[in-house]
C-alpha cells in the first residue's frame, strides 16, 4: 500500500489551472521582454506590487501603497531581513504552540524570543505584558497550528498594546486567510491599525503553489525607510517572469476564480474528513474545527507517548504531524492526550476513509 498524507504543508494541485498560468507567463514574456533582460527593483516590480496592493485592499482590507510592499521568496527571508535591521536588544514574542521555523530563525539570529501561551481567543495578553517584547509575531486569521480565529476584541487589545509603547510592532502573518468555510472573513489586523504599528505578511504558497516561493510584507512608513536604507542595493530574489505572470494571473481574474474553486473543493474534503473522524473515533476525539485554513487540530483520548505514535504512523504509511512540531522552548506537552495537526489539502477525497482507518490503528 502507498503512503497517505494528512500533511498541512502540501497544497492540492489537482485543480491548479496550469493552462491559464502558462497563458499568463506567455503574456509576461510578450509584454515585458525588456524587464526580463534586467534586474528588477529590489522590492519587486512596481506593476506587480501595485496589483498585490490593490488586491489585498479588496480582499483583506489592507491599506497600503505599492511602495510599502516588499516581495520575497518566502516569509523566512523577509522576516530575516526585517529583524536583521533591528538593534540586538529589541525583543520578539511568538505564539506557543506556534510556527517553529520562525522561532528557530530568530534564535539563530541570537534574538531574544519569548514563546507566549494561548488562551481560547489567541495569544495571551498577560504573557505579552510579562515578556515586554518590541515585536509580536502572530497569526490572528487562523492561529498556526491550533486554528483559533482571533476575535475583534482581542485584536483591539493587541493594537492598544502596540500603540501604548515606544516603537512596538505587531507582525501579522496572514498565511492562509483566503480559506474560510461558511463564515465570513474577518478583515486583517492591519486594516484596524491607526498607528502604523502592524507589519502585514502574505503568501501565495497556500493559494497557488508553495514551490513558487512568492510572498510579501507590507511595511509601515518608518520601517520602510529603514528597509530602503539597509537593502536598496540588494537583488530581488523572486523571478520576474513568475512575478509578471502572477500579475496577469490576478488581473485576468483567474486568481480570484481559483481561490473560489479551492474554497469549495477544500470545504468538501474538510466536511467529509470531520464526518469520518467522528464516525470512527466517536467520543475519543475532540476536533478544534475552526472553519478556516487547510488544517485543524484534533485531540485523541490516549496517554500514549508521541514517539509511539510517530513509529506506528511510519508503519501504517500515514504522514501525520503531532503538536510536538509546534511546541516551542521547553514546552513539552499541551495536554495529557495526543494532539495532531490534520491537514486536508493533500489527502484525496477517495482516500479519506482508508486514511482515517490507518489513523485509528496508529492511535489505538
| Residue number, nearest CB to ligand 76U | 74
Residue 205 as a binder of ligand 76U (CB under 6 A): the answer is yes
Residue 76 as a binder of ligand 76U (CB under 6 A): the answer is yes
Give, as ranges, the residues between 273 and 332 that touch ligand 76U (CB under 6 A): 325
* Contact by Cβ (8 Å): 270, 317: no
Q: Which stretch, 73-81, 226-234, 304-312, 347-355, contacts ligand 76U (CB under 6 A)?
A: 73-81
Residue 188 as a binder of ligand 76U (CB under 6 A): the answer is no
Residue 76 CA to residue 24 CA, distance in Å, equals 27
Q: Report how many residues bind ligand 76U under the rule CB under 6 A.
A: 16
Please say which residue, 171 or 224, places its beta carbon nearer to ligand 76U.
171
3-state secondary structure of 70: strand
Q: Smallest gap, in angstroms, from Cβ of residue 79 to ligand 76U? A: 9
Residue 193 CA to residue 278 CA, distance in Å, equals 40
**∠ CA 64-67-69, rounded to 5°:** 70
Give, as ranges, the residues between 209 and 248 that touch ligand 76U (CB under 6 A): 210, 215
Residue 5 CA to residue 319 CA, distance in Å, equals 4
Residue 185 CA to residue 187 CA, distance in Å, equals 6
Query: What stretches of the chain show up as alpha helix (H) in DSSP?
Result: 18-31, 33-36, 46-60, 75-84, 100-108, 125-131, 152-163, 221-231, 240-251, 254-281, 306-315, 352-363
Selected from 74, 97, 140, 147, the binder of ligand 76U by CB under 6 A is 74
Selected from 24, 43, 188, 203, the binder of ligand 76U by CB under 6 A is 203
Q: Smallest gap, in angstroms, from Cβ of residue 5 to ligand 76U? A: 12
Beta sheet of 135-138, edge-to-edge order: 69-72, 215-218, 198-203, 169-173, 135-138, 92-95, 113-116
Q: Smallest gap, in angstroms, from Cβ of residue 72 to ligand 76U? A: 8
Query: What stretches of 282-333 show up as alpha helix (H) in DSSP?
Result: 306-315
Residue 282 CA to residue 363 CA, distance in Å, equals 13
Q: Which three cell numbers stand for residue 85?
A: 535591521
3-state secondary structure of 77: helix
Give, as ranges, the residues between 78 and 117 that touch ligand 76U (CB under 6 A): 99, 101
Please say which residue, 175 or 248, places its beta carbon nearer to ligand 76U.
175
* Contact by Cβ (8 Å): 250, 56: no
Q: Smallest gap, in angstroms, from Cβ of residue 78 to ligand 76U? A: 8
* Contact by Cβ (8 Å): 6, 344: yes
Residue 334 as a binder of ligand 76U (CB under 6 A): the answer is no
Q: Which stretch, 57-65, 128-136, 203-211, 330-338, contacts ligand 76U (CB under 6 A)?
A: 203-211
Give, as ranges, the residues between 130 and 149 that touch ligand 76U (CB under 6 A): 139, 144
Please say which residue, 31 or 109, places its beta carbon nearer to ligand 76U.
109
Selected from 173, 178, 316, 319, the binder of ligand 76U by CB under 6 A is 173
Residue 9 as a binder of ligand 76U (CB under 6 A): the answer is yes
Residues that bind ligand 76U (CB under 6 A): 8-9, 74-76, 99, 101, 139, 144, 173, 175, 203, 205, 210, 215, 325
Amino acid at each position: 500500500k502507498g503512503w497517505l498524507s494528512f500533511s498541512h504543508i502540501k497544497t492540492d494541485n489537482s485543480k491548479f489551472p496550469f493552462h491559464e498560468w502558462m497563458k499568463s507567463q506567455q503574456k509576461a514574456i510578450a509584454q515585458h521582454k525588456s524587464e526580463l533582460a534586467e534586474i528588477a527593483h529590489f522590492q519587486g516590480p512596481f506593476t506587480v506590487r501595485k496589483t498585490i496592493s490593490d488586491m489585498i485592499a479588496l480582499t483583506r482590507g489592507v491599506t497600503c501603497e505599492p511602495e510599502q510592499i516588499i516581495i520575497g521568496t518566502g516569509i523566512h527571508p523577509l522576516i530575516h531581513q526585517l529583524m536583521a535591521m533591528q538593534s540586538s536588544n529589541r525583543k520578539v514574542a511568538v505564539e506557543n504552540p506556534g510556527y517553529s521555523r520562525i522561532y528557530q530563525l530568530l534564535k539563530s539570529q541570537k534574538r531574544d524570543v519569548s514563546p507566549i501561551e494561548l488562551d481560547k481567543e489567541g495569544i495571551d495578553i498577560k504573557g505579552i505584558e510579562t515578556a515586554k517584547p518590541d515585536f509580536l509575531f502572530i497569526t490572528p486569521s487562523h492561529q498556526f497550528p491550533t486554528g483559533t480565529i482571533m476575535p475583534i476584541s482581542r485584536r483591539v487589545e493587541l493594537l492598544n498594546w502596540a500603540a501604548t509603547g515606544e516603537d512596538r510592532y505587531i507582525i501579522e502573518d496572514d498565511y492562509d486567510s483566503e480559506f474560510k468555510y461558511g463564515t465570513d472573513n474577518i478583515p486583517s489586523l492591519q486594516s484596524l491599525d491607526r498607528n502604523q504599528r502592524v507589519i502585514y505578511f502574505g503568501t501565495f504558497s497556500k493559494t497557488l503553489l508553495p514551490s513558487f516561493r512568492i510572498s510579501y510584507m507590507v511595511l509601515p512608513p518608518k520601517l520602510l525607510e529603514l528597509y530602503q536604507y539597509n537593502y536598496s542595493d540588494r537583488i530581488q530574489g523572486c523571478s520576474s517572469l513568475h512575478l509578471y505572470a502572477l500579475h496577469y494571473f490576478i488581473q485576468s481574474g483567474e486568481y480570484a476564480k481559483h481561490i473560489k474553486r479551492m474554497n469549495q473543493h477544500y470545504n468538501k474534503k474538510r466536511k467529509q474528513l470531520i464526518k469520518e473522524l467522528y464516525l470512527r473515533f466517536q467520543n475519543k476525539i475532540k476536533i478544534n474545527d475552526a472553519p478556516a485554513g487547510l488544517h485543524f487540530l484534533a485531540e485523541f483520548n490516549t496517554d500514549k507517548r508521541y514517539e509511539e505514535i510517530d513509529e506506528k504512523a511510519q508503519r501504517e504509511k500515514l504522514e501525520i504531524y503531532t503538536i510536538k512540531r509546534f511546541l516551542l522552548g521547553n514546552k513539552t506537552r499541551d495536554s495529557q492526550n495526543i494532539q495532531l495537526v490534520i491537514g486536508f489539502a493533500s489527502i484525496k477525497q477517495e482516500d479519506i476513509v482508508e486514511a482515517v482507518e490507518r489513523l485509528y490503528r496508529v492511535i489505538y
